[in-house]
Chains A and B, each alone.
Chain A
Amino acid sequence: MDSNKNFVVGIFEDEDVLLHAVEHTREKGLKIHEVYSPFPVHGLDEALGYKRSRLPIAAFLFGMTGTSLALLMQIWMLGYDWPMIIGGKNHASLPPFIPVTFEMTVLLAAFGMVGTFFIASDMKPYKWPRQFDIRSTDDKHVMAIDLATNKMSKEEISALLKSQGASEVNEKNF
Chain B
Amino acid sequence: MERVVLDTVPSMAPLLASSLVRDGVRRVTKHRPRLLPDREVVLADVVQSAGRLATYDRVCGFGVRDLVPATWLHVQTFPLQLVLLSAPDSPFSLAGMVHVTNSMTLLRPVSVGERLRLSSSYGPPREHRRGVLIDMIGEAYVGDELVWRGVSAYLVRGASLPGMLPEDQPDGVRLPSDVDVQADAVWRLPANLGRRYASVSGDMNPIHTSAIGGKAFGFPRAIIHGMWTHARVLAALEPRLTDSYRMDVRFTKPILLPSSVRFGARNEGDHWTAVVRPRSGEKTHLVARISSPTH
Binding between chains A and B: no
Residues of A within 8 A of B (CB): none
* Contact surface of B with A, Cβ cutoff 8 Å: none
